[in-house]
């Protein structure tokens, strides 16, 4: 394989040529193909312009239903919490069901779904984001993620625990107060199920963890690495769909946040702060995103090849006011991106 230098890094000539050609890339975790069209970065834009959400926020907002001491939308009053605070979602999408019901009518099939939904307030400070919190505060959030995964996952009627955050009105967040959610399902949701299947298949084929192998590739090539420390790595994945999407991975094989030791959790906190810093610096705005953890299902099935990770899906494309829309071809055919993952990674690296 011939190699050449790109910005001081040794990369294959095949990779260099693909940076500027229309091509598609395979997502190792789902098997899905992503169309990459680098030439479209120059296309004119006369579409929707988003509002800049750079307004300054107070430390405590008396109208916020997540701030300490305030009444929530359902009427329950929050305690005067000083650290992280967890409560059952007042408008939960899932409820615990005492029995299972199914519907089968020819091609039509349905079944009841049971589960729990909770809200995690990261901090009592209304004006902060996860990335603006201290490392100690972020570590407390990570410890809360671990305890929620363990507590809910220990239930015999819960087989998957999804922890996520929607940040910014652009991503549907109902409040700017720093918070995330936990949805615990009786069944394994679609995205996690696909990732489990591909990681299981790789382990069955070669006897190694898929994402451990992928970490080795990214550390060797370094084209898509955004930031790293002793314990964690953040990359724009080779198959990224969203313009500045990132994948956060432990360098050692870890199935859940709970299996991280104290140093590993500190490393996780540091990488989360570092990636947020780069996001916010990129367009000088508090970056909107959906972030979520994929951890080992809690259905009791042994899966030696499963590797925990966090996805960041931010929608911004060209600036703080121009976003990527998943419409048209994306809805009817498959995902498509303009800026290559390599260029996105370089921009995020230098933004920090």
pLDDT at 346: 96
Token pair listed for 179: 């918070």
In a domain, 43, yes or no: no
Residue 100's pLDDT band (cuts 50, 70, 90): confident
* Cα–Cα distance for residue pair 147/232, rounded to 1 Å: 20
The CATH number of the domain holding residue 314 is: 3.30.428.10
> What average pLDDT is seen over the chain?
91
Beta-strand ranges (E) seen in 172-229 are 179-185, 225-228
In a domain, 309, yes or no: yes
pLDDT at 16: 57
User: Edge to edge, what strands does the sheet with 336-337 contain?
Assistant: 23-26, 33-36, 336-337
Residues 293-328 have pLDDT tens digits of: 999 999 999 999 999 999 999 998 877 777 888 899
In a domain, 219, yes or no: yes
In a domain, 81, yes or no: no
* Cα–Cα distance for residue pair 76/78, rounded to 1 Å: 7
In a domain, 74, yes or no: no
Beta-strand ranges (E) seen in 217-315 are 225-228, 232-235, 246-250, 289-294, 309-313
Q: What is the mean pLDDT of residues 199-225?
A: 98
In a domain, 295, yes or no: yes
Catalytic residue among 126, 159, 179, 311: 179
In a domain, 6, yes or no: no
pLDDT at 169: 84
pLDDT at 3: 40
In a domain, 180, yes or no: no
**pLDDT of 72 above 60:** yes
pLDDT above 70: percentage of residues in the chain: 90
Q: What is the mean pLDDT of residues 258-271?
A: 98
* Cα–Cα distance for residue pair 202/213, rounded to 1 Å: 10
Is 179 one of the catalytic residues? yes
* Cα–Cα distance for residue pair 215/232, rounded to 1 Å: 10
> What is the extent of the structural domain holding 229?
25-38+207-351
pLDDT at 39: 77
**pLDDT of 10 above 50:** no
pLDDT at 4: 35
| Number of compact structural domains in the chain | 1
* Cα–Cα distance for residue pair 231/251, rounded to 1 Å: 6
């Amino acid at each position: 394989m011939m190699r050449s230098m790109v910005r001081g890094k040794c990369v294959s000539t095949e990779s260099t040529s693909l940076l500027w050609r229309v091509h598609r890339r395979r997502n190792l975790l789902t098997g899905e193909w992503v169309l990459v069209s680098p030439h479209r970065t120059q296309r004119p834009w006369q579409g929707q312009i988003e509002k800049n959400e750079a307004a300054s926020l107070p430390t405590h907002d008396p109208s916020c239903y997540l701030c300490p001491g305030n009444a929530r939308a359902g009427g329950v009053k929050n305690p005067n919490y000083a650290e992280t605070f967890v409560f059952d979602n007042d408008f939960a999408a899932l409820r615990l069901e005492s029995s299972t019901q199914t519907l089968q009518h020819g091609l039509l099939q349905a079944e009841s779904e049971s589960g729990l939904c909770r809200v995690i307030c990261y901090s009592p400070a209304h004006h902060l984001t996860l990335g603006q919190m201290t490392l100690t505060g972020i570590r407390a959030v990570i410890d809360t993620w671990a305890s929620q995964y363990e507590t809910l996952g220990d239930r015999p009627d819960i087989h998957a625990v999804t922890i996520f955050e929607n940040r910014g009105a652009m991503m549907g967040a109902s409040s700017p107060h720093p918070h995330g959610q936990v949805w615990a399902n009786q069944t394994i949701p679609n995205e996690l199920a696909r990732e489990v299947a591909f990681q299981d298949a790789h382990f069955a084929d070669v006897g190694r963890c898929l994402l451990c192998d992928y970490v080795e590739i990214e550390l060797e090539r370094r084209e898509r690495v955004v930031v790293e420390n002793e314990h964690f790595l953040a990359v724009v994945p080779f198959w990224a769909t969203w313009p500045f999407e990132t994948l956060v991975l432990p360098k050692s094989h870890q199935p859940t946040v709970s299996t991280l030791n104290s140093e590993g959790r500190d490393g996780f906190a540091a990488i989360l702060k570092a990636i947020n810093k780069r996001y916010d610096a990129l367009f000088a705005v508090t970056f909107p995103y959906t972030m979520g953890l994929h951890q080992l299902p809690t259905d009791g099935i042994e899966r030696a090849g499963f590797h925990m990770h966090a996805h960041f899906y931010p929608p911004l494309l060209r600036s703080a006011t121009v976003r990527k829309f998943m419409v048209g071809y994306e809805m009817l055919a498959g995902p498509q991106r303009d800026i290559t993952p390599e260029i996105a990674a370089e921009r995020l690296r230098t933004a920090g």
